[in-house]
């Protein structure tokens, strides 16, 4: 029953929203309404808001994450941010988000290099994978996700990634901001498929111990459906993470799941 021992993680991805002037206030509001010790909480603001959020949630037990990191330590990469630059600002990082793949043309190879830098820099990675609508309708969803996983994880030591606290987020890209909805069953099935890929890659029991989050338009209204799936261990929350009421509802439901799993584990 390894699933009962995996942490429940709720990570807020603020995307390109908030400014240094208002990010701290929002972070404090969320922190004050989500004090659930059984839930791992993370807020990932824009780079320019990292310091404000870090200061606002100090002592609240909330992790602060960056939304991206470069695959090199330094150099002629205008506008980019490297892992060493995040020291003291963030302890988590999102990698391979579907919007980075779309807008910046990030490939699995590039994401794999970023994963290397994140781990070396002491950042806990949230690795995103997911399929487009045409790929799902073509019956290729699991194949696409498997290819993304293998590409990003190639050359990485499973034990090292486990020590770094790797989290995988499944993003059904077709269900993000489109009005279409993925079901809990969709998310649960893909989480199981993700762990099959890890097992096939030689991860052994580490595959079962790796948290898998749902990352497709999670809200307080639908989070219970996803957390009811034993293979799903939380959510990477987008638009709803900008609303304290929504985050309060999501984290409260996550705490119920965490308590139930703890009880099941004995």
Say how far apart CA 106 and CA 93 lie, in whole Å: 16
Where are the chain's structural domains?
33-70+80-265
Name the one residue in this structure whose structure tokens are 């019956």. 139
Token readout for 144 is: 């696409």
Distance CA(27)–CA(244), nearest Å, equals: 9
pLDDT of residue 242: 98
Distance between CA atoms of residues 116 and 176, nearest Å:
28
Read off the pLDDT of residues 16-30 as tens digits, 9 standing for 90 and up: 999 999 999 999 999
Q: What is the mean pLDDT of each run of 10 residues along the chain (266 residues)?
A: 80 98 98 97 98 98 98 97 98 97 97 98 98 93 98 97 98 83 94 98 96 94 97 97 98 97 88
Structure confidence by residue, pLDDT tens digits, 47-63:
999 999 999 999 999 99
Among 171, 225, 229, 246, the one annotated catalytic: 171
Whether the CB-CB separation of 152 and 198 falls below 8 Å is answered with: no
| Cβ contacts of 75 within 8 Å, gap of 6 or more | none
User: What is the chain's alpha carbon radius of gyration, rounded to the nearest angstrom?
Assistant: 17
Is 63 strand, coil or helix?
Answer: strand
CATH of domain 33-70+80-265: 3.20.20.70
- Note the pLDDT of residue 73: 97
- Selecting among 36, 70, 97, 131, the annotated active-site residue is 97
Q: Is 156 in the active site?
A: no
Q: Is 171 a catalytic residue?
A: yes
Neighbours of 198 (CB within 10 A): 24
The helix (H) or strand (E) run that includes residue 30 is helix 23-33
pLDDT at 3: 61
């Amino acid at each position: 029953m390894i699933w009962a021992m995996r942490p429940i993680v709720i990570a807020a991805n603020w995307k390109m929203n908030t400014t240094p002037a208002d990010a701290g206030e929002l972070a404090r509001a969320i922190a004050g309404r989500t004090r659930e010790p059984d839930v791992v909480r993370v807020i990932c603001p824009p780079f320019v808001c990292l310091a404000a959020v870090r200061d606002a949630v100090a002592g609240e037990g909330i992790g602060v994450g960056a939304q991206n990191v470069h695959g090199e330590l330094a150099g002629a990469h205008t506008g980019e941010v490297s892992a060493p630059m995040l020291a003291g600002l963030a302890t988590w990082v999102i990698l391979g988000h579907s919007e980075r793949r779309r807008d910046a043309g990030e490939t699995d190879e590039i994401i794999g290099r970023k994963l290397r830098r994140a781990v070396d820099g002491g950042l806990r990675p949230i690795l995103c994978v997911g399929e487009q609508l045409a790929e799902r309708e073509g019956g290729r969803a699991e194949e696409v996700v498997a290819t993304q996983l293998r590409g990003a994880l190639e050359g990485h030591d499973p034990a090292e990634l486990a020590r770094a606290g790797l989290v995988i987020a499944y993003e059904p890209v077709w269900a993000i901001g489109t009005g279409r909805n993925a079901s809990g069953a969709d998310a649960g099935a893909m989480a199981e498929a993700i762990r099959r890929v890890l097992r096939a890659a030689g991860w052994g029991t580490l595959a079962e111990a790796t948290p898998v989050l749902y990352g497709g338009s999670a809200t307080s209204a639908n989070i219970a459906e996803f957390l009811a799936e034993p293979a799903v261990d939380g959510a990477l929350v987008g638009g709803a993470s900008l609303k304290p009421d929504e985050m309060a509802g999501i984290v409260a439901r996550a705490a119920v799941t965490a308590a139930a799993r703890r009880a099941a584990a004995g």
